[in-house]
Amino acid sequence: MIRVGIAGIGFMGMIHYLAYEKLKGAKVAALCETQRERLAGDWRGIKGNFGPAGRKMDLSGIDKYENLDEMLADPKLDMIDICLPPAAHAAVAIAALKAGKHVFCEKPIALKAADGARMVRTAQSAGKQLMIGQVLPFFPEYAFAYKAIKSRKYGKLLGGHFKRIISDPQWLTHFYDPEKVGGPMLDLHVHDAHYIRLICGMPTSVSTVGRMRGEVAEYFVSQFAFEDPNLVVSAASGVIHQQGRGFSAGFEIHLQKATLLYDFSVVGDKPEASMPLTVLNADGKVERPTMPSSDPVDSFVEELTEATRAVRRGKPSAMLDGELARDAVILCQKQTESIRKRRPVKL
């Protein structure tokens, strides 16, 4: 049994906790949080842009800490699950690794690629696993596309377009602070940057146009270039000012023998798949593959199953690799640089 300590009970900490409740072979043994009401189980004030609302929780049998160092010193814990604000990821992950714990850390790996690289090096020297929660490849539609690309079921990948757009998250105080959250680039688009890196490899350059809000990009469109000139990949992401559509994401992925389509939104608090996962085949036929549960928490169950399996087997997960997550932050940094310089930027 993998015994997990969760650091931080905000929205993602709650989602991870709910996911662990569905896992076999792992359980939450400790929680660390500075807000005492949340340690006491009152999670009604927790809010996010998907999943269930916060509620009162029965946390009996779980060790509770207000001090992180005390939780890291708990010899019963095998893995620390970091759900703190991004600015704290590097310091806490490094401390946990040095304390002899495996680490699962929410995305982004860090706000700066250099800090992500320090995390990777620390994990290597400590002989422990560093896994980053870039959950997108575990969502059913993206998992289907990833498997199709890797298996070459529909031939070679030719490219595609990805989008991820939200309404202004006004409940998040520090969302646009480059030193605390990083804005839409590092909180939102980093998902698609990671997925693009996963399926395409590292781009050679990126050209991005966008609007800035202070020091961070607010809305932007990027064109990625690769060594293969026939690989055509673009992405759009950021924030709109209206609140009617809280979330929108999707893709159009081009393969030699098929095109994969997907478009999902939350409009007026109601989820709508305007284009369920659709496969346009070379023979003109249209397929709608059956997808698993639509509960977004189940994708985190899949992700944490992968993480705890890696710990049990002592074999790192390619999907949760720290270097891959660091590369996603590099992509985000280069896109912001391209917006500022108003020209393509090499990687």
Query: What percent of the chain has pLDDT above 70?
Result: 100
DSSP per-residue string spanning 286-336: EE-PPP----THHHHHHHHHHHHHHHHHT---STTBHHHHHHHHHHHHHHH
How confident is the model at residue 296, as a pLDDT? Answer: 84
pLDDT for res 53: 84
What was the pLDDT predicted at 49?
65
pLDDT at res. 50: 72
What one-character DSSP code corresponds to residue 116?
Answer: H
Nearest Cα to Cα of residue 160 among 59, 250, 90, 32: 250
Q: Name the phi and psi angles at 85, rounded to 5.
A: -55, 150
Q: pLDDT tens across 325-340, in order?
A: 999 999 999 999 999 9
Residues 205 and 56 in one domain: no
Judge whether 322 lies within some domain. no
Q: What is the mean pLDDT of the chain?
A: 96
Is the domain of 257 the same as that of 168?
Answer: yes
Two tokens, residue 17: 């906790």
As a whole number of angstroms, the distance between CA 260 and CA 280 comes to 7
One domain for residues 141 and 222: yes
Looking at the structure, do residues 192 and 87 belong to the same domain, yes or no? no
Same domain, 160 and 122: no
Helix (H) or strand (E) holding 129: none
Shared domain for 197 and 313, answered yes or no, is no
User: What is the CATH classification number for the domain harbouring 142?
Assistant: 3.30.360.10
> Is 10 contained in some domain?
yes
Helix (H, G, I), strand (E, B) or coil at 266: strand
Q: Are residues 230 and 162 in the same domain?
A: yes
Report how many domains make up the chain. Answer: 2
Structural domain boundaries, residue 48: 2-134+301-317
By three-state DSSP, how is residue 78 classified? coil
Q: Residues 339, 214: one domain?
A: yes
Q: Are 241 and 227 members of one domain?
A: yes
- Which residue, 83, 117, 82, is CA-closest to 99? 82
Q: Quick one: 154 and 111 in the same domain?
A: no
Whether residue 190 sits in one domain with residue 106: no
Q: Based on the domain organization, do 70 and 165 belong to the same domain?
A: no
Mean pLDDT per 10-residue interval, the chain, length 347 residues: 97 96 95 96 85 89 97 98 97 98 98 98 98 97 98 98 95 91 97 98 98 97 97 98 95 98 93 95 96 87 96 94 98 98 98
Q: Which own/partner contact pairs does 89-94 have at CB distance under 8 Å and 24+ positions apart?
A: 89/115, 89/119, 90/115, 90/116, 90/118, 90/119, 92/7, 92/68, 93/119, 93/122, 93/130, 94/118, 94/119, 94/122
